[in-house]
Amino acid sequence: MCNLYRQRSGPQAILDLSRAMRSDVGNMEPRDIYPDYAAPIVRWEGEDRILTAARWGMPSSRKALMDAATKRADKLRAKGKDVDFPKLLEMEPDSGTTNVRNTASSHWKPWLKPENRCLVPFTAFSEPGRDAEGRYQPVWFKLAVDDPDPLAFFAGVHVQDWTCVRKIKTGMETCDLFAFLTTEPSEPVKAVHPKAMPVILTEPDEIEAWMTAPWEIAKELQRPLPDGALVTC
Mean pLDDT per 10-residue segment, the chain (233 residues): 92 96 91 96 97 97 84 85 81 90 95 98 93 83 96 98 91 95 97 95 97 97 97 95
Q: Check whether residue 85 and residue 174 sit in a common domain.
A: no
Q: Check whether residue 113 and residue 161 sit in a common domain.
A: yes
Q: Check whether residue 88 and residue 181 sit in a common domain.
A: no
Q: Check whether residue 69 and residue 140 sit in a common domain.
A: no
Q: Check whether residue 106 and residue 122 sit in a common domain.
A: yes
Domain end residue (candidates: 43, 78, 93) = 93
Query: What is the extent of the structural domain holding 78?
Result: 61-93
Domain end residue (candidates: 51, 78, 93) = 93
By CB atoms closer than 10 A (0-12, 13-18, 19+), residue 220 is exposed
Q: Can you give the pTM of this predicted structure?
A: 0.92
Nearest-angstrom CA–CA distance, 125 and 9: 14
The angle at the Cα of 71, spanning 68 to 72, to the nearest 5 degrees, equals 85
Nearest-angstrom CA–CA distance, 67 and 148: 44
Q: Check whether residue 27 and residue 111 sit in a common domain.
A: yes
Round to the nearest angstrom and report the end-to-end CA distance of the chain: 18
In this structure, the number of other CB atoms found within 10 A of the CB of residue 141 comes to 24
At 95 the pLDDT is: 87
Helices (H), the chain: 11-18, 62-78, 85-90, 189-192, 204-212, 215-218
Nearest-angstrom CA–CA distance, 60 and 35: 13
By CB atoms closer than 10 A (0-12, 13-18, 19+), residue 87 is exposed
How far does Cα 207 stand from its chain's mean position? 16
Q: Check whether residue 86 and residue 130 sit in a common domain.
A: no
Crossing angle (nearest 10°) for helices 11-18 and 204-212: 80
CATH at 179: 3.90.1680.20
Nearest-angstrom CA–CA distance, 125 and 142: 7
* Count: domains in the chain: 2
At 86 the pLDDT is: 79
Domain end residue (candidates: 93, 117, 143) = 93
Q: Check whether residue 87 and residue 46 sit in a common domain.
A: no
Q: Check whether residue 83 and residue 34 sit in a common domain.
A: no
Q: Check whether residue 104 and residue 217 sit in a common domain.
A: yes
Q: Check whether residue 109 and residue 221 sit in a common domain.
A: yes
